[in-house]
Amino acid sequence: MSKKPLDMNAMPGQQRAMDATRAAGRVAMESAQAIAQINQKASQELAELIQKRVSELMKTQDPRSAFEYVHAEVLQDAAKEISQYHNQLLQVLKSGNQDLAEIAEKMIQESKADLIHFVNDATDNAPAGSEAYVSVFKTSFNTALQNFELIRAAMADSFANFEKSVENVSNLTTPKSASKKKG
């Protein structure tokens, strides 16, 4: 077996790895841009809200009515705004996580297919009398396939755990705002 065919076979795998890296970078960049837009919008809305509330607060003469106003209006509105901001961020993170999981799954499947193809080529072209070596090679290959499955399972668990963390954080804020509405 010469080096040239092996190098030629490696090029598509390298290209796929570069494509996957670009796709993961694109997902990260889009998520960062979405978060930046959310932050900019939240900052603008907060500045407008503060200006409006300070203006309304300056109109009150009685300290008690000012306290009641702050408690009834300002704090409740702030809690709503924070909850909405938080949910928007969580949606961006969740979406990016799903995209990255799909990219990683595709890379693992393609790498697995490349490895299967490589082993099949190597064992089909093995010289006569090398059956023992082919057997050892295939045993190693089966171990490698099991490792691919372990990597895929670990990756899936990692993305699922992140998804659960995002949902748990979201659930922590949602019941509090719902209970405040009832009270």
State residue 162's pLDDT score.
83
How far apart (Å, rounded) are the C-alpha atoms in residues 40 and 18? 32
CA pseudo-torsion sign 163, 166, 172, 173: negative
Entry pTM: 0.61
Cβ–Cβ < 8 Å for 96, 28:
yes
* pLDDT tens for the 183 residues of the chain, in order: 444 444 455 567 778 878 888 988 898 899 889 989 998 988 888 888 878 877 877 777 777 777 777 777 777 777 788 888 888 888 888 888 888 888 888 888 888 888 788 888 878 888 888 888 888 888 888 888 888 788 888 888 888 888 888 778 777 766 554 444 444
Structure-block tokens of residue 23: 């796709």
User: How close are the terminal C-alpha atoms of the chain, in Å?
Assistant: 77
Q: Where are the alpha helices (DSSP H) in 75-130?
A: 75-124
State residue 10's pLDDT score.
58
Residue indicated by tokens 């019941």: 175
Nearest partner of 137 among 152, 115, 110, judged by Cα? 115
| Burial zone of 107 (CB within 10 Å; 0-12 exposed, 13-18 middle, 19+ buried) | buried
State residue 46's pLDDT score.
81
How far apart (Å, rounded) are the C-alpha atoms in residues 91 and 166? 9
State residue 4's pLDDT score.
43
State residue 70's pLDDT score.
73
State residue 180's pLDDT score.
47
